[in-house]
A and B are shown apart, each in its own frame.
Chain A
Amino acid sequence: MSADHPIGLSIRDGVKVYPGTRALKGVDFDLRMGAVNVLVGENGAGKSTLMKVIAGVEELTEGRVEMAGKVVHFRSKSEAVAHGIGIVFQELNLFPNMTVAENIFIAREPTRAGMDIDAAKQREATRALMARLEQPIDPDTPLGTLRIGQQQIVEIAKALAQDARILILDEPTSALSAAEVEVLFRVIADLKRQGVGIVYISHRLEELIRVGDYITVLRDGAITGARSMAGVDIPWIVRAMIGDSSKEFGRTEPANFGAEVFRADNICLPRLGGGYTVDHVSLSVHAGEIVGLYGLMGAGRTEFLECVMAQHPHSTGAFHVAGKPLTERDVPGRIARGIALIPEDRKRDGLVQIMSIRENLTLSALKSYATGFHLNLKAEMKGAMEFVKRMTIKVARVENPVSSLSGGNQQKVVIGKALMTNPKILLMDEPSRGIDIGAKAEVFRTMRRLAADGLGILFVTSDLDEVLALSDRIIVMANGRITGEFPAGTDAAAVISATAPNATKAVKELAA
């Protein structure tokens, strides 16, 4: 098999060190041409870093990259492009206000006399590319009017227009519908036939097995499995991905759940263009319980939390807090009823970066330090200091801007702000995102402590390790629906297979 698929690029002893972490620990990776090289691993396992190295976005700290037996150094993305390497990031880098042709030739427009853009040539080249990809997309269509799947095709065409021989696709299907996935797979098959080497990153295991020819599994920056796809099944992948996971954040005291503090009934959020982003979701959380909401990106988990926090006026369904229906339609009303949200994007949604640590901490609960219009600054300061202590936030001065803190401490400020409103139910969206290992452990310990104090916690995560270790109950979402519910101590493979409901049957058969 390897005779048909010559190695187009290889990495030997690849090490990449970021301040504080080793993202890659001596990685050997072979990229085969005319085949789909699948790359899989948990969030933070080093997939993205590896791809960035290949695409010239990052340079290896140690080790070497070889192409056709020669060592190459990519100091920038354009150097990698010159070597025929194209990458399609998960977040599309396109301009919705420009046409398809303009997008494909952005910053490398064919010109006459170096000035006048040769629109006809650009259009012709685009038409040829679209023919190659068998897509009936007109070059003059404004990009914004295309569906996401077609935009992805445009992004691929952009890479091919630069003569890419190696194409990296980072989670290409996360935003696609089933039909669009089929189109993409056809395009991939065509490209393979044309001898293009494809690197395919995805969390959807059934997809990987279907489309891949070779698989490489990464865990904590090291390769834990690399082989041809023949004979690979989901349990094998999961074992390689997770290994013997440690459960250091598990419950230490016996489970002691109180009454139901939060219930959602039939929550629906319609999606633009039909279907649902959140599809009839019903769940409940008890006092003292940590419920993990697991799923892939785009499963509708964040949107569900946003529905709870009154961010989607078009959502339908009913919420109950401590047995009473939640009728408030705005954020302040819901906060007053005991709901608190730790948003996914700390910088964008969680904090006011230029305000001080104190002002951020008390922002949600400011009214409790005010009599009428008058704000009692002394009481506010006391409250802020109390929470700095309780959350063990390491600060030099509470008057410093919150942006001067490390990610972990910023997250604690966000949690502290939420706790100041005396919530009954804490919604946490990816609480460990963007903070280092030590801070993660502290955030998890904090969650445990809060649950032990009787708070109900519903947290969203894409990290399998995390959801398995921390949850008293695991709820899995896929395509907006709840596709599985598991008690603590469930087998990882069962949880993973629920994230891709189409593959569930296959796994069950394998397990049997």
Chain B
Amino acid sequence: MTAIPAPATPGSTALLLLLLRARTFVALILVLAFFAFAAPNFLSAANAVIVSKHVALNAFLAIGMTFVIITGGIDLSVGSIVGLCAMVAGWLVLNGIDLGLGWSIQFNTLEIALLVMLVGVGVGLINGLLITWLNVAPFIATLGTLYVARGAALLSSDGRTFPNLGGNAEYGSASFPWIGSGTILGLPVMIWMLVLVGLLASYISRRTPLGRYIYAVGGNERGAALSGVKVTRVKMFVYMFSGLCAALVGLIIASQLQASHPATGETFELNAIAAAVLGGTSMSGGRGRIGGTIVGAFVIGILSDGLIMMGVSSFWQTVIKGLVIIAAVVIDQAQSKLQARVALQQEAAAGR
């Protein structure tokens, strides 16, 4: 009498639970259906690509943010990392690295991209060290790096914009704009990148010990540590991964605009948190899915783009976005309660 098959839950409860679990998808479909009627041309292929590009930037950040939130932390610095990395990209395209003595090293596109990612990972590393070694609360640590990174971005150009980042064929960086505006098989490069990062993150979360540890640390840090999970390493990873995601966004924006401005990415962190929460990530840690987060990012993106197409005032958009997030969390609570009850019923029916 150990593992007996699960007794069937009453049909209506099961259906309700299914609906609640897939609520972000349901919301996505509802939003899509609504704008298909309300906003002409919304479902056209051209518009879909445009919306996807808008969504992608937020989705990158939200993926990194999801891992951080699952461990029970928060990363407020991602917006600033975006700005800093955009400036680094701009600087490298324009100036390379000046060694003094009248010499400078110039980089090709790939090298620039790798260096920018390194900067993002580096800021994430600092976040991680502050949080694990020096025991600073994640909120405070990343709030600090938010200011420092933003300040560094402003200092890099004295607050000015780096213009004309067309690259230089001589140095092999002429392909720099391609990152943000190029296409492969008809889809923008950045969408391919998002697919890649999304699949990678999803794979990590579901099919690797590291992913399991991320959930375990968020669910019960002490318990995880006593079970042999290297909590410090797990936390270092999530902040570095979040920094990497932010670096990609900085790179893409600099490339897309062929210019980089130090204020790039301001308040992006809030949109990323919103997407993660909308996708079912629990702020108290331990719960969340990469797929859910991406769908959440799409709901937010489609909502704002659709409302623009309908000509709704941007002030109203902000209000609506806030309401949607609150509604998402309220529904999330209801789902957790129902799910716990169903599980308890199953265990009770199995005869303790």
User: In the assembly, what is the distance between CA of A401 and CA of B341, in Å?
Assistant: 11
- A404 near B347 with CB under 8 A, answer yes
| Option from A332, A354, A375, A405 in Cβ contact (under 8 Å) with B286 | A354
Q: Closest A-chain residue to B213, C-beta based?
A: A366
Closest to B209 in A: A366
Partner of A395, one of B211, B213, B220, B347: B347
Asked if B344 is an interface residue, CB under 8 A from chain A, the answer is yes
Q: List, in ascending order, chain B residues with CB within 8 A of A311's CB.
A: 226
Chain B contacts of A396 at CB under 8 A?
4, 6-7, 346-347, 349-350
- B244-288 residues at the A interface, CB under 8 angstroms: 286-287
A70 within 8 A of B: no
B160 an interface residue at 8 Å Cβ cutoff?
Answer: no
CB distance from A351 to the nearest CB of B (A): 6
From B208, B222, B229, contact of A373 by CB (8 A): B208
What's the nearest-Cβ distance from chain B to residue A205, in Å? 34
B105 within 8 A of partner (CB): no
Tally of A interface residues using CB under 8 Å: 45
Residues of A within 8 A of B216 (CB): 352, 355, 359, 363
Q: Are A370 and B209 in contact (CB under 8 A)?
A: yes
CB distance from B243 to the nearest CB of A (A): 20
Interface mask (B335-350 → A, CB under 8 Å = 1, otherwise 0) = 0000010011011011
Judging by beta carbons under 8 Å apart, are B226 and A349 in contact? yes
B-side contacts of A332, CB under 8 Å: 228-230
The reply on A343 being an interface residue by CB < 8 A is yes
CA distance A374 to B203 in the complex (A): 9
Would A395 and B224 be within 8 Å (CB), given that A404-B344, A405-B347 are in contact? no
Say yes or no: A352-B224 contact (C-beta < 8 A), given A373-B210, A375-B209, A396-B349.
yes
Which secondary structure dominates chain B's binding surface? Answer: helix
State which of A157-165, A181-189, A385-393, A484-492 sits at the interface with chain B. Answer: A385-393
Is B135's CB within 8 Å of the partner chain A?
no
Which residues of chain A have C-beta atoms less than 8 A from B215's C-beta? 352, 355, 359
B219 within 8 A of A: yes
B220 contacts A352, CB within 8 Å? yes
* Size class of the B contact interface (CB-based, 8 Å): 35 or more
Q: Which chain A residues in 345-399 approach chain B with CB under 8 Å?
A: 348-355, 359, 363-364, 366-367, 370, 373-375, 377, 385, 388-389, 392-398
Neighbouring A residues of B286 by C-beta, 8 Å: 352, 354-355
> Which residues of B lie under 8 Å from residue A389 when comparing CB positions?
2-3
- Closest A residue to B225 using CB positions: A331
A10 sits at the interface (CB 8 A): no
CA distance A335 to B228 in the complex (A): 7
Shortest B206–chain A CB gap in Å is: 8
Q: Is B227 an interface residue (CB 8 A)?
A: yes
Tell me if B352 and A409 are in contact (CB < 8 A).
yes
Per-residue CB contact flags for chain A residues 25-52 toward chain B (1 = under 8 Å, else 0) read: 0000000000000000000000000000
Contact of A394 among B2, B211, B229 (CB under 8 A): B2
Whole-angstrom distance between the Cβ of A422 and the nearest chain B Cβ: 13
Q: Say whether B223 faces chain A, with CB atoms less than 8 Å apart.
A: yes
Q: Does A400 contact B (CB under 8 A)?
A: yes
Q: Which B residues are in CB contact (< 8 Å) with A367?
A: 209
**Which of the listed residues A311, A332, A388, A400 has the most CB atoms from chain B within 10 Å of its own CB?**
A400
Q: Is A88 an interface residue (CB 8 A)?
A: no
Is A406 an interface residue, CB under 8 A from the partner? Answer: yes
CB distance from B350 to the nearest CB of A (A): 4
Roughly how many angstroms separate A405 CA and B226 CA in the complex, as a whole number?
Answer: 21
- Give Cα A393 to B3, complex, Å: 8
Q: Do A352 and B2 form a contact, CB below 8 Å, given A370-B208, A396-B349?
A: no
The verdict on A309 contacting chain B, using a C-beta distance below 8 Å, is yes
The reply to whether A397 and B208 form a contact with Cβ atoms under 8 Å apart is: no
Partner of A348, one of B207, B223, B350: B223
A209-B212 Cα distance, complex, nearest whole Å: 54
- Which of A331, A332, A364, A389 gathers the greatest number of chain B CB atoms within 10 Å? A331
A363–B229 touching, CB < 8 Å: yes
Taking a contact as CB atoms closer than 8 A, the residue among B3, B211, B219 that contacts A398 in the complex is: B3
Residue of B nearest to A335 (CB): B228
Q: A403 within 8 Å of B by Cβ? A: yes
Q: Contacts A367-B209, A374-B208 hold; do A355 and B347 have CB atoms under 8 A apart?
A: no
A421: Cβ under 8 A from any B Cβ: yes
Chain A residue at minimum C-beta to C-beta distance from B216: A352
- B-side contacts of A388, CB under 8 Å: 2-3
Q: Are B2 and A331 in contact (CB under 8 A)?
A: no
Please determine whether B219 and A354 come into contact, CB atoms closer than 8 angstroms: yes
A397–B209 CB distance below 8 A: no
Asked whether any CB of chain A lies closer than 8 Å to the CB of B1, the reply is: yes
A404 B351 Cβ-Cβ under 8 A: no
In the complex, chain A residues 261-283 whose Cβ is within 8 Å of any chain B Cβ: none
13 contacts between A and B (CB under 8 A): A335-B228, A351-B223, A352-B223, A353-B220, A363-B227, A363-B229, A366-B209, A373-B208, A385-B3, A396-B350, A397-B6, A398-B3, A404-B346
Across chains A and B, which 6 residue pairs bring their CB atoms closest together, nearest first? A352-B219, A396-B350, A404-B343, A396-B346, A400-B343, A332-B228
